[in-house]
């Protein structure tokens, strides 16, 4: 597409730039022997007309791009285009001078015109060269914008692919643990196993429903986490206790779907499940300025040494937050005595529209 005509706001400034060139041409014509009034009557209309003619410089610029053809060919193409444009302009100026001569104030204009021909041709070549340089500059600008846009699109596609890959790790990891728990209950407690299957189906149905969106309100994420905990309650019964500290303003903030579930799953699997008397899972959420802070705590066996590194669930959460928010998000993991604590910090923003 033409770099000037394709944009509504560019043609006006482009033509306006030819007005001072018309003033310069007026002075040159006056120096060449034309009266000032006659020089102005010729120069200003012809400058604007030549401005339209030079819009066609885009076509030789496009066909003779310095990045695609040898430089001598670029010079030859532009020299030929400049000569044709200058000759066409000279013909139009000659025609305009003949018409002006019909006005008494511009009598004998055609007699003075031959002295103007060399100067008009020279100015035509120079103005075409400036127009060609402008078109090359605009083409380079458009190419840079196109490359930047393509790079951004590729970055977005790569990030989406990474997020899909990270999100895909959640279901197999959770399903493996849940099905393993159901298997262990089928012999000892068939009723609990059946209840766990029903709760698992409900959780999976809800997780599939929100799986196609970038973010959901925290209140909805908490409700989804509660469905997961219902699955685990079928297994642990009163050994699993849940505590919540959720501020009202935090509930409306948007979070990635299933961002809490992997951490809560770890709290149950590596905390409550390893304690004879069970334990608690404490979920806290508060908004602090433009940040949302999510905290999950659980007790651990004080006799068990802390394991280095992260499990699949925490690594998944860290990777998703990094891909979505970059350095604006963080995950802090800390063990204080017999309490394991994970705090997630992410931007406090409304959930994206579905």
Helix or strand run (H / E) with residue 247: none
pLDDT in the model for residue 149: 82
Token pair for 29: 């014509």
CATH topology of domain 169-347: Heat Shock Protein 90 (3.30.565)
pLDDT in the model for residue 128: 93
Give the C-alpha distances (Å, rounded to integers) separating 267 from 25, 97, 272, 336.
82, 91, 7, 14
The CA distance from 58 to 72, in Å, is 18
pLDDT in the model for residue 62: 87
Helix or strand run (H / E) with residue 70: none
Listing DSSP states for 138-174 in one string gives: HHHHHHHHHHHHHHHHHHHHHHHHHHHHHHHTHHHHH
For 44-100, write each residue's pLDDT tens digit: 999 999 999 999 998 998 888 888 888 889 899 999 999 999 999 999 999 999 999
pLDDT in the model for residue 50: 92
Q: What's the order of all strands across the beta sheet hosting 240-246?
A: 240-246, 279-288, 291-299, 339-347, 330-336
- Picking from 186, 206, 208, 187, the residue whose alpha carbon sits closest to that of residue 197 is 186
Listing DSSP states for 321-339 in one string gives: HHHHHGGG-EEEEEEETTE
Report domain extents, the chain.
Answer: 8-159, 169-347
Whole-model pTM over 0.85:
no
pLDDT in the model for residue 312: 62
Residues in the chain predicted with pLDDT less than 70, given as ranges, are 154-174, 177, 211-212, 304-313, 352-354
List helix spans (H) across the chain.
Answer: 8-16, 18-31, 36-54, 58-63, 71-100, 109-112, 117-168, 170-188, 190-210, 218-236, 261-270, 312-325
């Amino acid at each position: 597409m033409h770099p000037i005509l394709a944009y509504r706001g560019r043609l006006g400034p482009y033509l306006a730039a030819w007005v001072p060139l018309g003033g310069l041409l007026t002075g040159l014509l006056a120096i060449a022997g034309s009266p000032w009034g006659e020089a102005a009557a010729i120069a200003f209309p012809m400058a604007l007309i030549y401005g339209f003619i030079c819009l066609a410089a885009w076509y030789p610029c496009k066909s003779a791009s310095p990045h695609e053809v040898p430089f001598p060919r670029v010079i030859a193409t532009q020299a030929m285009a400049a000569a044709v444009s200058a000759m066409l302009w000279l013909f139009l100026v000659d025609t305009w001078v003949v018409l002006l001569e019909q006005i008494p104030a511009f009598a004998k204009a055609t007699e003075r015109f031959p002295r103007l021909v060399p100067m008009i041709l020279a100015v035509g070549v120079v103005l075409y060269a400036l127009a060609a340089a402008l078109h090359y500059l605009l083409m380079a600008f458009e190419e840079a914008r196109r490359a930047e846009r393509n790079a951004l699109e590729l970055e977005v596609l790569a990030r989406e692919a990474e997020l899909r890959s990270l999100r895909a790790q959640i279901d197999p990891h959770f399903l493996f643990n849940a099905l393993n728990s159901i298997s262990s209950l089928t012999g000892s407690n068939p009723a609990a196993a059946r209840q766990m299957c029903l709760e698992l189906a409900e959780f999976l149905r809800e997780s599939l429903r929100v799986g196609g969106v970038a973010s959901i309100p925290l209140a909805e994420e908490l409700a989804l986490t509660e469905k997961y905990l219902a699955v685990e309650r079928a297994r642990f019964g009163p050994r699993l206790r849940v505590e919540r500290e959720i501020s009202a303003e935090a509930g409306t903030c948007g979070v990635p779907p299933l961002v809490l579930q992997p951490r809560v799953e770890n709290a149950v699997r590596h905390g409550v499940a390893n304690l004879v008397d069970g334990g608690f899972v404490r979920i806290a959420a508060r908004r602090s300025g433009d940040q949302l802070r999510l905290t999950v705590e659980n007790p651990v066996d004080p006799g068990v040494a802390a394991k280095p590194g992260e499990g699949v669930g925490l690594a998944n959460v860290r990777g998703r937050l990094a891909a979505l928010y970059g350095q604006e998000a963080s995950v802090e993991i800390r063990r204080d005595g017999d309490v394991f604590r994970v705090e997630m910090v992410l931007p406090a923003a409304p959930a994206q529209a579905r």
